Amino acid sequence: MSAGDSPRDSYEKAGVSIDRGERAVELMKESVAATHGPRVVSGAGGFAGLYSLAGYTDPVLASTIDGVGTKVMVARETGRYASIGTDIANHCMNDVLATGARPVMFLDYVASGRLDPEAVAEVVRGAADACGRHGVALMGGETAEMPGLYGDGDFDVVGCCIGACERTEALDGSGVRPGDEIVGLAASGLHTNGYTLARKVVADAGLSWKDLPEALGGRTLGEEYLEPHRAYVREVETLRGTVEVRALAHVTGGGIQGNLPRVLGGLGARIQTGSWEEPGVFGMIRSLGRVPEAEMRRVFNLGVGMCAVVPQGEAGRAVEALRSSGCRAWRIGEVLADAGVEFV
């Protein structure tokens, strides 16, 4: 090139900025490092993180990966991103808990059309805060700028969580028996499921994120829809220290009927409708969208974020232990010999 020529093409001109990526990493570095305890041998910054399993006798690992889904669109439209990071960390922790393992490591992935370093850092700080609250190490992650694949302002958030436990502590549903009782742990709201329907209902009703529907008790729609997915790490530890827990089901997409059977070892369940307190947001969606009850049960958690199966006669002690730990809980049903979930 002559001295007066400028380069025709570059990564920046193609739409990807290495500088924006490096700025995002710099902004999140401190919050990520704060989650690292003595078991972290080598954390963020390398090609992979190393974590020590010293102290386990016969360890097994549990792994899960999931995304936040179209809840990211609520974050984008309101300009609030931290709760999305909390969502994905907590969601993945709950999946690990359902195996009987304790979550120990988490990794995040944020992809966008054009990287906004401050927004990405806010997402990761939200994940780091969640990890820090539950003693989970945020080992690293990936930010990807992919113009052409994502439009301007579009982004996606995915998380991967690893847990560990002794082989004897793992839950596989083999210990569940007919007559066992089912305890429901309160959800914080929509969690991260059903947002395509939940968003359509409010859009069709002509509502904005700043509106204050009466059913939400003084909260705006944006606040309610961005309420973080609750994690049950401490609650499950308390529960397993109080009663025998034979199975745990994280109630995500598919509701109770779609998730509880996955941990019952081929058995079924009878769920008593009205046995728990349903957050107002579900009644609002049901009413505004004229959504049939069967569809509500199939899409949303309806206020129960996790189910615990305990031996017959132990539901009372389980509920008391959970409430003492700050989690509302109810006896919501029982295990049946025949497969399937029935609501009565």
**Residue 178 to residue 339: CA distance in whole angstroms:** 11
Least confident stretch, 45-49, 157-161, 193-197, 202-206: 45-49
| Tally: H helices and E strands in the chain | 12, 12
DSSP collapsed to 3 states, 133-168:
HCCCEEEEEEEEECECCECCCCEEEEEEEEEEEEHH
pLDDT at 25: 65
> Where are the domains positioned within the chain?
16-169, 181-343
Pick the closest to residue 68 from 125, 109, 116, 121 (CA basis): 109
**248 bridge partner residues:** 308
Across the range 304-319, mean pLDDT stands at 97
Instruction: List, for residues 154-166, the tens digit of each pLDDT value.
Output: 889 999 999 999 9
Fold designation for 181-343: Phosphoribosyl-aminoimidazole Synthetase; Chain A, domain 2 (3.90.650)
Fold designation for 16-169: 60s Ribosomal Protein L30; Chain: A; (3.30.1330)
The token pair at 285 is 């969606």
Instruction: List, for residues 96-127, the tens digit of each pLDDT value.
Output: 999 999 999 999 999 988 878 888 888 999 99
pLDDT at 141: 83
Neighbours of 69 (CB within 10 A): 18
DSSP collapsed to 3 states, 197-220:
HHHHHHHHCCCCCCCCCHHHCCCC
Greatest mean pLDDT among 120-124, 135-139, 185-189 lies in: 185-189
pLDDT at 23: 64
Instruction: List, for residues 212-258, the tens digit of each pLDDT value.
Output: 999 998 999 999 999 999 999 999 999 999 999 999 999 998 999 99
Q: What is the chain's mean pLDDT, rounded?
A: 89
**Residue 312 to residue 142: CA distance in whole angstroms:** 46
- Flag whether pLDDT at 1 surpasses 60: no
Higher pLDDT pick, 4 / 279 = 279
**62 bridge partner residues:** 163
pLDDT at 39: 81
pLDDT at 20: 66
40 within 8 A of 138, measured Cβ to Cβ:
no
| Phi, then psi, of 149 in degrees rounded to 5 | -85, -40
Pick the closest to residue 233 from 129, 100, 116, 323 (CA basis): 100
pLDDT at 55: 87
Kindly report each contact of residues 5-11 with a partner whose C-beta sits within 8 Å and lies 24 or more positions away, as own/partner.
none
Instruction: List, for residues 7-48, the tens digit of each pLDDT value.
Output: 666 556 656 656 666 666 666 666 667 777 778 887 666 678
Residues, the chain? 344
Across the range 249-273, mean pLDDT stands at 94
Across the range 285-297, mean pLDDT stands at 95
- Flag whether pLDDT at 79 surpasses 70: yes
Query: Alpha helices, DSSP H only, in the chain?
Result: 11-14, 18-33, 71-78, 82-97, 117-133, 195-204, 221-225, 233-240, 255-259, 280-289, 293-299, 315-324
pLDDT at 105: 94
